[in-house]
Chain A
């Protein structure tokens, strides 16, 4: 596995292979699934994670979200980094590269 990841503006986040971000039809909810782990997500987290595809940088994800929700980019980017860092520390997000 890789070294400890520090999420910054240029990080390209992706889900590790054993982590799935998946829609559960019967429950009508998005969740993160990993072995013996289930992470319930708030609607903002879902919006962020829908853009995590192993190609986009944190900066680009944040920019699009700030436009979509008409919110200041610097607030959004710090929220995005905080959430992704939190998931990364738990092994649910890694860097593409």
Chain B
């Protein structure tokens, strides 16, 4: 970890990196659902630490000034904030493409109508399954699925575009075709079929979620066929778990190259899982400008470009395609964020991790550890 003390890291501009394209704004970590694969960190931020309305407005102004195009208002559950309307209005006035990522369960028709009139441009609604009982069990929220189906109709009633966000795993993957049909029935423009990504809560629950390679292949076939059949009708985005991929995903388009993420208290992160890399120090918008942070923040500059890479990344001809894969995954699975992402088939640790996951997928799934405040864990994974 001596790299921490190295302050001679190249900055964004020295890598030829331009302003980020989009901001993922986690307005709050509070959420009525308890999905065991939540992308939030295991240490959830409390309400008292959240940025104020004016602080978010200042962030939005700075994002636009830097040239960002889009903002994703996310959480936890962004609709727990009573100032969501003010924030949406401000984003829209400033010309950001404004997207709401929500579980939907706290919404009502009037609020949606209001948000639409204030300039909200798109809604991403999460679904846990197409089967009511199983969906409610996964989300830990009774009646949630029925409410979501209702919310989807309200979204279309106010003519807001809709994406169905469907997280799939071994406990709902057999309903994949039903997910796609549901998106069509709900008149969605787009459906995101995302296999669980194993960080934070999801990593704690990996044995409950990881599909077998056969399940995954079958799912991929279904998606590829649907993409052809529904071309021009429904956009299908598909994310596979990279445990079973040949190459790692080029996570976030490369560390600190295209996107940034803000947590509820204003820490600026290269991705939503970056806090799992515990030795990184994040800068906060209460102390520094967004522009300064993008250019100078040590947490961003640490893994920018290719200088930090060890072999086999350093000598790989894909190093500026994959950018070494995912730092958070390297941290979680190898204990060192600088290692090659073990999802890569040429990582020295790939086989060990692959066989461990495949073994988990063959066993009966354990009970969920639900995502909520105050859960304590004994083991690091």
Interface residues of A (CB under 8 A from B): 1-5, 16-18, 20, 22, 24-27, 31, 33-36, 38, 88-91
User: CB-CB < 8 A to A24: which residues of B?
Assistant: 67, 69, 95
Number of B positions contacting A (CB below 8 A): 29
Alpha-carbon distance A91/B192, docked complex (angstroms) = 15
**A18 & B234 in contact (Cβ 8 Å cutoff):** no
**A89 & B231 in contact (Cβ 8 Å cutoff):** yes
**B233 & A3 in contact (Cβ 8 Å cutoff):** yes
Interface membership of B359, Cβ < 8 A: no
**B189 & A91 in contact (Cβ 8 Å cutoff):** yes
Who on chain A is nearest to B163 by CB?
Answer: A35
Which A-B residue pairs are the 7 nearest by beta carbons?
A: A18-B161, A26-B67, A4-B232, A33-B97, A27-B67, A91-B235, A35-B122
User: CB-CB < 8 A to B233: which residues of A?
Assistant: 1-4
User: CB-CB < 8 A to A16: which residues of B?
Assistant: 161, 189
**A1 & B65 in contact (Cβ 8 Å cutoff):** no
Alpha-carbon distance A20/B64, docked complex (angstroms) = 16
**A36 & B237 in contact (Cβ 8 Å cutoff):** yes
Distance between B216 CB and nearest chain A CB, rounded to angstroms: 22
For the A-B complex with A26-B66, A34-B97 known, give 18 more contacts whose Cβ atoms are closer than 8 Å.
Answer: A2-B233, A4-B231, A4-B232, A5-B232, A17-B161, A18-B121, A24-B67, A24-B95, A26-B64, A33-B69, A34-B122, A35-B124, A35-B163, A38-B21, A38-B69, A88-B232, A90-B235, A91-B189
**B159 & A27 in contact (Cβ 8 Å cutoff):** no
**B65 & A38 in contact (Cβ 8 Å cutoff):** no
Interface residues of B (CB under 8 A from A): 19, 21-22, 64-67, 69-70, 95, 97, 99, 121-122, 124, 159-161, 163, 187, 189-190, 192, 231-235, 237
**B161 & A91 in contact (Cβ 8 Å cutoff):** no
Who on chain A is nearest to B192 by CB?
Answer: A36
**A91 & B232 in contact (Cβ 8 Å cutoff):** yes
Distance between B64 CB and nearest chain A CB, rounded to angstroms: 7
Query: A22 is contacted by which of B66, B95, B187 (Cβ under 8 Å)?
Result: B95
Distance between B141 CB and nearest chain A CB, rounded to angstroms: 24
Query: B159 is contacted by which of A1, A17, A31 (Cβ under 8 Å)?
Result: A17
User: CB-CB < 8 A to B95: which residues of A?
Assistant: 22, 24-25
